Amino acid sequence: MCHIRSPALNERARRQCPMPNTHGFSSRFSLHAVNGKLLTVTFAMNWFARRIHRYEQRRWKTDDNRLVRPFAWGLEHIGGPAEHPNPADFLREYAQRAIQNSQEWYGTSPATDYRLDAENVLTFTSSIESPWPENNTVHAQFFPARTRGSAVLILPNWNAKWHGQSGLGEWLQRIGISALKMSLPYHDRRMAPGHERADQLVGPNIGLTLQANRQAVQDARRCLRWLEQQGFSRLGILGTSIGSSVGYITLVHDPAVRAGGFFHVSTYFADVVSQGMTTMHVWESLREHVTVDELREYWAPVSPMPYVERGLGAGKNAFMVYGKYDPTFLPALTEQMLAALRRYNPHPRTLALHCGHYSLELPPFSHIAGYRMLTFLRSALAQ
């Protein structure tokens, strides 16, 4: 089995990155080859959008450990036979059943072995047993406030490090809201041996990606049960990027969650993977075996959009922040998501900033987004 570290892919992806459609300046960029034909598109970009895009590319290039891993159906990770004669049919039927019975598919009981150590690190056993023992113990960092009324579960971005987004927990702590920051499956202390990135949570193994994202939601719900055991009755979720996807699905399936705050939002898992800049190496492996439409169907259970279209979570408070020049969660996909939400909630709370995916962390965007998000959560979780 060959795992290729591909600087050539990174260079090609930089040249072919999809660009936001803004106004004021005309530049020519090439997109992915589709069915053997190279598409070229002319976008209008103003000077500020170009500057943001250059920053997004520079940040993307700093990660030189992306691997183009081999494609796999991965049915063994979702209860199917590894050598099924028609894996596409199996996945299609499995996904349909999972969505129809999502309350059971995402259901879990509280853990029986919660342990909070002297450094406020919570550990417990995940409800899903993956092939990697390291991944089966959940780690979460607790930021206790003085009072025990409200608490927020923080779900970080893809490939976040252990101390990533600790600042959010500290900010929440300062305004009187306790926070619990959970490591997503296959991240930092849960990382599989031989891996530098969480390739199982977003990767070309279709069944494993389904299992890992289902595990993320169930782990999040076990975190919420622990917070309830500690006396917290007003619960919220704060998710970033893939943490936003996991967080939204948790929000709509867990009745205890009052409110959700999300940095970066999109529709279907497959659309982000196939169109986004940061997942081009994943799509490079998938595109020879499945179409976007097929992958959208297979990964629908771990996508926010099907639950929006079913009206789940219509009565929950949610605040969504996104970048107008985001090359990872494309603005067109975000608008589709918001349009679907508006069909069930005529006034969803949103904040669109003139930034991208990585650049949301820069001031003034980070200050504006952070202030608005904390204000929202404090209000939504008030008595």
Q: What is the mean pLDDT of residues 294-312?
A: 95
Burial class (CB in 10 A: 0-12, 13-18, 19+), 76: middle
DSSP string, 126-139: -SS--S-GGGGEEE
Q: What are the contacts of 370-374 at 24+ separation with CB within 8 A? A: 370/168, 370/171, 372/319, 372/321, 373/238, 373/261, 373/263, 373/319, 373/321, 374/171, 374/172, 374/175
Provide the pLDDT for residue 45.
60
Report the 10 Å Cβ neighbour count for 291. Answer: 13
Tell me: cis bond preceding 364? Omega within 30 of 0 counts. Answer: yes
Q: Cα–Cα distances in Å, from 80 out to 27, 77, 151, 249?
A: 48, 7, 38, 24
- Say which residue, 204 or 49, is predicted with more confidence: 204
pLDDT in tens, 306-319: 999 988 888 789 99
pLDDT in tens, 214-273: 999 999 999 999 999 999 999 999 999 999 999 999 999 999 999 999 999 999 999 999
Q: Is the pLDDT of residue 24 over 50?
A: no
Q: How big is the CA angle at 102 (ends 100 and 106), to the nearest 5 degrees?
A: 160
Provide the pLDDT for residue 37.
41
Which tokens belong to 267?
């529709």
Q: Pick from 290, 262, 132, 272: which is nearest to 204 by CA?
A: 290
Q: How many CA atoms lie within 13 A of 260 on its CB side?
A: 30
Q: Pick from 221, 47, 252: which is nearest to 140 by CA?
A: 221
Sign of CA pseudo-dihedral 262, 198, 201, 30: positive
pLDDT in tens, 172-193: 999 999 999 999 999 999 999 9
Report the residue count for the chain.
383
Strands (E), the chain: 4-5, 26-34, 37-44, 67-68, 115-116, 121-125, 137-143, 150-155, 178-182, 234-240, 257-263, 317-323, 349-353
Q: Pick from 307, 228, 231: which is nearest to 267 by CA?
A: 307
Q: Is the pLDDT of residue 38 over 80?
A: no
Compute the distance between CA of residue 249 and CA of residue 133 in angstroms, rounded to an integer.
25
Tell me if the pTM is above 0.85.
yes
Provide the pLDDT for residue 39.
39
pLDDT in tens, 92-127: 999 999 999 999 999 999 999 999 999 999 999 999
Q: What is the mean pLDDT of residues 74-93?
A: 96
Compute the distance between CA of residue 168 and CA of residue 59 in angstroms, rounded to an integer.
21
Looking at the chain, the number of H-run helices and the number of E-run strands are 13, 13
3-state secondary structure of 296: helix
Q: Is the pLDDT of residue 327 over 80?
A: yes
Which tokens belong to 189?
């202390």
Q: Residue written as tokens 């979720």?
A: 237
Percent of the chain with pLDDT over 90: 79
Phi and psi, residue 206, nearest 5°: -65, -50
Q: How big is the CA angle at 337 (ends 245 and 291), to the nearest 5 degrees?
A: 75
Q: What is the mean pLDDT of the chain?
A: 89
Q: What is the mean pLDDT of residues 198-203?
A: 96
